[in-house]
C-alpha cells in the first residue's frame, strides 16, 4: 500500500477537528517525537485511514468511516498542539 | 468552505496528452494559499462514492479555482475529470485544505521547488503567487518529467523564467529526450540535486511534491547533502490520495 503524508488526510482531519490540522504538532505516544500532522505518514488504501509516526511507525490515529459514522482511534497520540 | 459544495465546471483546458486544467467558481470561495488542495467527490448512480485530493494550480490572486489533473489509466476519478467531464457538469468539492505544504511571499526564500511529474501543480501555484505578488524571492524549480510532451505548463514556465526576477527552471527528462536536448536526461539523483539546489548554507525553503518514491528519495538526498530537514516540506501523492 502506498505511503502518503498528512496532507492527504487534511480534509478528513478537518471533518473531525473542525480546523486546519496539518500544522498541528502531534507527539507520538510510542517514541515521543513530535511532527506537524502534515508530515506524518498516511495510508489510505485499506478500509480506514491510518496515520503513522514517521520515526517509529507507531499507529498514531486510525479513522474508519462506517456509513454516516466516523470512528476515530487516537491511541498513538500522546498530545496534539493546535496552532 | 469546510463542507461539501456542488460546483459546475466552468472551463477545461488540455495541458498535455494526459492532463487537463479544470476551472471552477465555487460560491463563497474564501480564497486559498499556494500549495493547498481541494477534495473532490464523485457519486455514481448507484450511490458509490469516490473521493480524491487535487492540488490547486491557480494563484490565490486569480479569483477562480483551477486544478490540474493527470489521468491515471486505471484511476476511478481522473479519467472522468480529464476525458469526460464537460463545462456545466457538476461535482462535489470541499476546500481549500492544508496549511503545512503552503508558501507565501512572507515565508521568504530562497525557494527550491522539486517536482516529479504532476507534482508540479502545487509548486506552480507557488510560482504563480510569486509572480502575481511581484516578489523577487530567489526561486529555482527542478522538474522531473518522462518526456518533453509530459511537461505541464511548458510555455508558461519558459515565460516565467524569461521574465523579470524569473525563477531558474531546470527540467530533466527521464524516459526520452528529443534530438538536440541539452538539459538533463536522467532521474533526479544526489549529484543533480547538488548541481541545481541552493547550497545548504543559504538555508533554502524546499518543497518537494510527486509520487511517493520520488519524494522520499529527493528528501533523503537533500538531507544527505546537508539541508535542514526542518526546511524540507514534502507532499506525496498516489492513486488513492490524489495529486
- The pLDDT of B177-190, averaged and rounded, is 96
Minimal-distance CA residue of chain A relative to B241 = A8
pLDDT at A27: 98
pLDDT at A22: 97
Q: What does the pLDDT average to over B57-83?
A: 93
On whether ipTM exceeds 0.90, the answer is yes
Return d(Cα B28, Cα B35) in angstroms, integer: 20
A80 - beta bridge partners? A26
Instruction: Report pLDDT for B227.
Output: 98
Say yes or no for a CB contact (<8 Å) between B94 and A11: yes
Residue A46's pLDDT is what? 84
Average pLDDT value for chain A: 95
Check: CB of residue B144 under 8 Å from CB of residue B117.
yes
Mean of pLDDT values over B161-179? 96
Interface residue of A5, A7, A10, A83 to substitute, partner B, most B CBs within 10 Å: A7
Q: Which of B232, B243, B177, B172 is nearest to B206 (CA)?
A: B232
List chain A residues with pLDDT less than 70. Answer: none
Element (H, E) at B205: strand B205-211
**Residues of A whose CB is below 8 A from B99:** 10, 20, 22-23, 38
User: How confident is the model at residue A1, as a pLDDT?
Assistant: 78
Partner-chain contact B241 A3, CB within 8 Å: no
Q: Is the pLDDT of residue B240 over 80?
A: no
Distance CA B186, CA B112 (A): 19
Q: Which pTM does this prediction carry? A: 0.95
> Taking CB atoms and an 8 Å limit, are A38 and B95 in contact across chains?
no
Amino acid at each position: 500500500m502506498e505511503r502518503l503524508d498528512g496532507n492527504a488526510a487534511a480534509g478528513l482531519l478537518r471533518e473531525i477537528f473542525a480546523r486546519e490540522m496539518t500544522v498541528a504538532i502531534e507527539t507520538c505516544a510510542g517514541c515521543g517525537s513530535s511532527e506537524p500532522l502534515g508530515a506524518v505518514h498516511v495510508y489510505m488504501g485499506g478500509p480506514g485511514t491510518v496515520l503513522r509516526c514517521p520515526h517509529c511507525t507507531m499507529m498514531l490515529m486510525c479513522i474508519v468511516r462506517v456509513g454516516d459514522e466516523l470512528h476515530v482511534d487516537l491511541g498513538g497520540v500522546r498530545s496534539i498542539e493546535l496552532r | 468552505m469546510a463542507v461539501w459544495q456542488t460546483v459546475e465546471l466552468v472551463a477545461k483546458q488540455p495541458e498535455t496528452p494526459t492532463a487537463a486544467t479544470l476551472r471552477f467558481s465555487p460560491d463563497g470561495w474564501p480564497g486559498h494559499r499556494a500549495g493547498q488542495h481541494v477534495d473532490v467527490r464523485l457519486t455514481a448512480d448507484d450511490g458509490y462514492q469516490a473521493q480524491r485530493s487535487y492540488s490547486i494550480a491557480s494563484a490565490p490572486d486569480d479569483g477562480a479555482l483551477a486544478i490540474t489533473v493527470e489521468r491515471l489509466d486505471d484511476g476511478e476519478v481522473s479519467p472522468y475529470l480529464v476525458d469526460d467531464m464537460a463545462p456545466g457538469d457538476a461535482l462535489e468539492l470541499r476546500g481549500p485544505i492544508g496549511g503545512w505544504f503552503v508558501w507565501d511571499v512572507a515565508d521568504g526564500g530562497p525557494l527550491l521547488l522539486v517536482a516529479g511529474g504532476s507534482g508540479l501543480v502545487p509548486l506552480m501555484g507557488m510560482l504563480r503567487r510569486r509572480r502575481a505578488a511581484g516578489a523577487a524571492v530567489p526561486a529555482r524549480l527542478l522538474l522531473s518529467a518522462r518526456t518533453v510532451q509530459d511537461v505541464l505548463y511548458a510555455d508558461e514556465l519558459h515565460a516565467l523564467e524569461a521574465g523579470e526576477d524569473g525563477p531558474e527552471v531546470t527540467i530533466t527528462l527521464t524516459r526520452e529526450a528529443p534530438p538536440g536536448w541539452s538539459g538533463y536526461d536522467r532521474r533526479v539523483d544526489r549529484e543533480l540535486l547538488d548541481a541545481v539546489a541552493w547550497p545548504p548554507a543559504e538555508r533554502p525553503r524546499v518543497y518537494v511534491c510527486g509520487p511517493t518514491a520520488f519524494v522520499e528519495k529527493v528528501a533523503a538526498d537533500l538531507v544527505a547533502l546537508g539541508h535542514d530537514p526542518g526546511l524540507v516540506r514534502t507532499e506525496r501523492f498516489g492513486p488513492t490520495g490524489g495529486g
